[in-house]
Every structure is written in structure tokens, then in C-alpha cells.
Structure 1
Amino acid sequence: MLSFNDRSLSSWLKSFEDLVDKGFVQYKQIMENLSFLVETDETPDKYIINAHLHDYSMKDIQLEVFDQAVRIVAQRNESTQIENSLNKARQFNGQVKRIERVIPLPFRIRQEDLRATFGDGVLKISIPKKALPNYIDIETEEEKS
């Protein structure tokens, strides 16, 4: 049977903690490449969404409006070309990087009510708080004629 003294157990625990810490650092790096920071704020008259898309230009970004949500999609093409002048060989590499987030909202929205601006790598979306009726006005038979 193996026995651990306090020193070897402490050493083993330290090694295990280091392994877990490295895993979390790698996880954070992976998640940063798969998503982006979104901050939401609320004023008395509107909701504000700030999406941090520093690696993207305005032409790389799309907004899609759903009934009670906004989807932000950022996509860009990256390509590199390597030339070897000795043997006249060329190598092309290309990839597409796409990230997206869906931001749910507590009320129904219409596309024409949204305002979006982009500057300094931040997409700012402003949505006015305006109650959309969930009912239909009923007319009398006489009003139709």
C-alpha cells in the first residue's frame, strides 16, 4: 500500500491545482475566440446593447431582429499568402471566422425601432421602450361600411 506523507501530498495538490489553473486559462482563451463581450444597460426610455467587436469592421457585422431578441453576427475572411522566391512556390491559406450572440429582450421589438452605430470596435444598439399592443381593435359592423 502506498503512503503519502504531508510533503508529497502537498506537492501533488500543488501540481493538480496548477493543472486545473492552466485548463481554465486555455478555456478562457478558447471562449474569447468563440464569442464576444456584450453589455446591456437600461434607461427610463430605452435599452442599450454594447457589443465589443474590436477585431471586426462594420462590413463584417450583421444584425437580425426576432420577435423578442436581437442576433449579432460577425464574420470575416482571413487569408495569407506565402511565397518562396527560390522555387517559385506559393501557398495560400484561408479561413472564415464567425461568431454570434442572441440577446433576448423582455418585450416585442420591431426592426424599424432599432438604431445601431459602430465605432472604436463597439456596436451600440439602442431600442426604445415602447409598448406594442398585444391586442387587436374590434370594429362594429357599422364602422366597416
Structure 2
Amino acid sequence: MLFRRPFDLFDEMFSDPFFTAPFETAGRSSLMKTDIQEKDGSYVIDMELPGYSKEDIQAELKDGYLTISANHTENKDEKDNQGKYLRRERFQGTCKRTFYVGEDIRQEDIKAAFQNGVLRLAVPKQAPQVPEKEQPKLIEIQ
């Protein structure tokens, strides 16, 4: 018989799909898959949010960080003819992603659209700031 450490059972518990795939319930798996591409002087972020509506999603810009969060509550009640429940399912989920976009980006510079479960954000590329070369200043010698 193999001797097991007392915490092996505890460690194994967290490899259970309940903990490793929290969004697989209610048909939701791999939320917020994100593709980022460089296009026409900006970065285009496509984020998949299946099952969410436009009203469930918030995009916030603070201190150079763009945070996208989505909160969704779903309640499916099915009853038979006598009003008894055959099935009751509820889902409530929140997900959030944060990207650093730079402190020079302003909220009004970012364009966002949500269509067919995909949130598309266009974030302008920051113009590289080239420090101006300081002209040598001659010291007058007397």
C-alpha cells in the first residue's frame, strides 16, 4: 500500500473539474476568449461573450488599464400543467479581463461594438514618444 500525505486528498480535490473549469456549467465554457490584432493604426480586441447581452457588459478605462467585465444572471423555470417544477436552473456568472493600454489613451479614443456575442474594441496605438534632443547650450567664457 502506498503511503499518502494527509494533504494529497485536499490537493486532488482542486484538480476536480468543478474547480478547474468553473464556467462549464450551464453550457458556458472558455468565456472571454480574446483575439488582439494590429489594424489601421490601432489594436483591435475581439472578445467572445456568448450568452451575454450588451447590457451585461461594461468597459472601463482607469490609470491606463482597460477592464472589461460581464455579469449575467439566468433563470430557467419549467413547470408542468399543475405548476410543479420539472426543472429549475439558475446561472449567475461574472467574468473580467484587464489590459494595459497606456496612460495616454483617453476613454473617448476607444471605440466599442457588441454583435453576435462578440465584443469588439478598437484602441488607438500610442504614438511612440521620442524625447527631444536637448540642444547643447554654450556657456559663455569671459
Q: What is the aligned-residue identity percentage?
A: 27
The reply on whether 1:30 has 2:22 as its aligned counterpart is: yes
Separation in structure 1 between the aligned mates of residue 89 and residue 54 of structure 2, nearest angstrom: 24
Q: Name the one with the larger helix percent.
A: 1
2:55 alignment partner, SS class: helix
State whether residues 31 and 49 of structure 2, in contact with CA within 8 Å, keep that contact through their aligned partners in structure 1.
no
2:105 alignment partner, SS class: coil
The reply on whether 1:118 has 2:114 as its aligned counterpart is: yes
Match of 2:124 among 122, 128, 133: 128
TM-score (norm. length: structure 2): 0.60
Separation in structure 2 between the aligned mates of residue 113 and residue 34 of structure 1, nearest angstrom: 29
Consecutive unaligned residues in structure 1, runs of 5 or more: 3-19, 134-145
Aligned residue in 2 for 1:49: 45
Report the alpha carbon displacement of residue 116 of structure 1 after superposing the two structures with TM: 0.5
Match of 1:76 among 51, 57, 72: 72
Match of 1:62 among 58, 62, 68: 58
The alpha-carbon distance between structure 1 residues 31 and 106, as it changes in their structure 2 partners (threshold 3 A), is farther
Matched positions, count: 113
TM-score (norm. length: structure 1): 0.59
- Matching residue's letter, 2:33: L
CA RMSD in angstroms comes to: 3.5
